[in-house]
Copies of this chain bind each other. A is one copy, B any other.
């Protein structure tokens, strides 16, 4: 089937890119209630595009939050069914003054498209839609049964996806889950992920004196909430990058010799230092860099704030201070247990004179999939055809909590075949996506469906 697909991809490329820019221009920021209508507008755009692409049963299905876009194309019940997942919502854009161009006016420069959602994940959602449209355009049918489930709440923890899946178990029934929301290992090195870290997020608030105080009048007499906060937060790690929360590592399996070897081979500290513009890397002592990302849990401060942030100085002792924390978890860590251990640590290490509030927020289990699934072989073959190089079986440092949802509720084996790059600034200003990987990725996705129909027939 190679020739007609390649020809069709080439023929449609300009139109696809114009459509992608239209889709990316909708500011579908799910965390910001002022953008609620925009999120729905993105769902409607996507539904409309799927309809024009030849999909059936296109629907916008309501949840208690932002809606889910569903579509399918059922060709033969004896063929495997692939459920494609992605999310059409995006991260906020602050600090917006650090964007070189408007995050919602996507621009193509040097075959790279810049804008919020280009790589995470609207760009890749769009590729899944065009995967189907391309094959239908070229051949008039699909080699497998296909279903789409695109949600609008991934960036806010997929709050209503569990309920949604529970309510639509029949509709979503499939054999394989295809997710394009992960990254490649490098510009020319595709990967299929078989493991993801989990997550446990919390917000920590300290309250000291009932209002902000003048540091001249009260300084020395009363606990400074920020002193308490930095002392408390500093207690979470030792000086070797290790998390000091009691029991934090108890469920973590030690690295096998083989895993360590793979991680050592894949770690290129000099390249990473250059990419990030830092003099030194840093992390848990005794582990190669890639192992620290794939196989070791972390505890990261994502935001800390309290007191005066304006220009110059203000001699204030702040009444409150806040920290936002997320842990990345590995098998077999339990997010609920980790949350409880953290809460205990914070309570036990609380400095005098302040009150503590801990709010547990997002959480997701870590995940490892069986490596002998035929869909993995199909993905491997498809990537090799598109990239002219062998794909690496990898793990991911990030979390795709929905993988657990679809695995636990529908028994789906997930294929995490993503085309972003770690360096493409997702969740940060100047997010971008290499169109070279748009082209090769779209080629790989179409090929995956043909390979899958061979491997799973």
Contact = CB atoms under 8 A, between A and B. Distances in A.
A328 B219 CA distance: 8
Contacts of A217: 183, 293, 396-398, 422
Interface string A263-293: 0000000001000111111111000010011
Number of copies of this protein chain within its complex: 2
Interface string A191-213: 00000010101010000111111
A312 B361 contact: yes
Contact of A300 (B219, B301, B397, B429): B219
Contacts of A328: 215-216, 219-220
Contacts of A48: none
A318 B302 contact: yes
A253 interface: no
B301 A227 contact: yes
A410 B63 CA distance: 75
A276 B209 contact: yes
Contacts of A354: 278
A370 interface: no
Q: Give the contact-size bracket for chain A.
A: 35 or more
Contact of A429 (B208, B211, B223, B289): B211
A234 B235 CA distance: 9
A140 to B, nearest CB: 40
A290 B300 CA distance: 39
A393 interface: no
Interface centre among A224, A237, A292, A303 (most CB of B within 10 A): A303
Given A218-B276, A221-B283, 17 more contacts: A98-B211, A183-B217, A214-B427, A214-B428, A215-B300, A217-B396, A217-B398, A222-B278, A222-B281, A223-B278, A227-B233, A230-B230, A231-B234, A234-B234, A282-B352, A305-B305, A313-B326
